[in-house]
């Protein structure tokens, strides 16, 4: 097993570019499970779960709240749960430690903003489905994405009985309509200038490492994932000097035959694997 770890460390050291692809499994290894009705969910959203009948964070994200004060009670608590006064997890610390001096780019569907929190450069991040700390106009009347940290933490602190006071609720500075978090929960999700720039940044990164040693590091992406896994597997095929490295548990660890000769997979807890890699580095 140590040999496999050493090989991964060597590949990372030699790489001219590293693309990290991350999804829900990475968050789970940090202890954040948006699909679970667990203790964290009950502690943070238990009363809302009883009131509206949803049973996980992800169900809450898609719930049609009857009013703005109720909607913001949920989304400001979500911000609070993910980020407010939270220490960076050891998982994210180790991941950053492993690649911080390298030329890297991150593509993720996680909405918890934990890459930014851990120190990853914003211009090296493509958050495909947005993140819970940014705001946009719900009418998509204009393109601007607004940092929502201050307003979200205020709404979280001052809510009562599952409702945010009206005077704290943000409204669009252009059309005066409602706002929402910049997360892909409905058709209003903005893929405007800011999203396009991130997407373009990712494409440019791929173009610039053409012909060089490239590592595709996939963390906690499901075996059938089309959004992140399929593109990373394609890049592995297209790039002669690509190495595909994937960490996942049991049957979710999937390496197709077409790329098996260029791949390294480790079956296990991402948290333990990253810790081991940092210790050996
Ligand atoms: Zn507007």
Distance 165 CA to ligand 1 centre (A): 21
CATH of domain 2-280: 3.40.50.1220
How far is the centre of ligand 1, averaged over its atoms, from the C-alpha of 120 (Å)? 30
What pLDDT was estimated at residue 65? Answer: 97
- Burial readout 233-248 (b: 16 or more C-beta within 10 A, e: otherwise): bebbeebebbbbbbbb
pLDDT, tens only, 66-94? 999 999 999 999 999 998 778 999 999 99
The structure tokens 């009418």 sit at 139
Using a CB cutoff of 5 Å, list residues around ligand 1, an ion. Answer: 137, 139, 141, 172, 174-175, 177
Model pLDDT, residue 86: 82
Q: Domain residues of the chain, as ranges?
A: 2-280
Q: What is the pLDDT of residues 222-256, one digit of tens each?
A: 888 999 999 999 999 999 999 999 999 888 888 99
10-residue stretch averages of pLDDT, the chain, 281 residues long:
92 98 95 95 97 98 97 98 89 97 97 96 96 96 96 97 98 98 95 96 96 96 90 94 94 90 95 96 86
In the prediction, which pLDDT does 2 show?
86
| Rounded-to-10 torsion of CA 116, 188, 147, 73 | -100
**Phi and psi of 182, rounded to 5°?**
-85, 70
Determine the distance separating the centroid of ligand 1 and the alpha carbon of 44, expressed in angstroms: 30
What are residue 243's phi and psi, to 5 degrees?
-125, 130
CA of 178 to the centre of ligand 1 (A): 7
The Cα 80–Cα 74 span in angstroms is 10
């Amino acid at each position: 097993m140590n040999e496999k770890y050493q090989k991964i460390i060597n590949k990372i050291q030699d790489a001219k570019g590293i693309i990290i692809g991350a999804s829900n499994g990475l968050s789970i290894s940090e202890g954040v499970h948006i699909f679970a009705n667990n203790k964290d969910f009950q502690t943070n959203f238990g009363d809302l779960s009883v009131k509206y009948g949803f049973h996980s964070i992800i169900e809450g994200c898609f719930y049609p709240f009857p009013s703005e004060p109720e909607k913001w009670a949920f989304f400001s608590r979500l911000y609070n749960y993910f980020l407010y006064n939270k220490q960076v997890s050891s998982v994210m610390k180790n991941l950053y430690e492993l690649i911080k001096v390298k030329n890297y780019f991150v593509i993720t569907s996680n909405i918890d903003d934990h890459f930014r929190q851990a120190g990853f450069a914003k211009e090296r991040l493509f958050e495909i489905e947005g993140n819970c700390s940014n705001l946009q106009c719900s009418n998509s009347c204009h393109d601007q994405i607004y940092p929502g940290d201050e307003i979200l933490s205020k709404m979280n602190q001052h809510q009562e009985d599952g409702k945010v006071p009206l005077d704290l609720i943000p409204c669009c500075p252009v059309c005066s309509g409602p706002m929402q978090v910049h997360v892909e929960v409905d058709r209003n999700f903005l893929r405007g200038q800011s999203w396009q720039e991130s997407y373009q940044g990712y494409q440019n990164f791929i173009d610039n490492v053409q012909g060089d040693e490239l590592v595709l590091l996939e963390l906690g992406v499901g075996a059938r994932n089309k959004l992140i896994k399929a593109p990373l597997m394609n890049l592995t095929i297209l790039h002669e000097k690509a190495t595909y490295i994937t960490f996942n548990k049991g049957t979710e660890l999937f390496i197709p035959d077409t790329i098996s000769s260029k791949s390294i997979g480790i079956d296990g807890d991402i948290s333990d694997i990253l810790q081991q890699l940092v210790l050996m580095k």
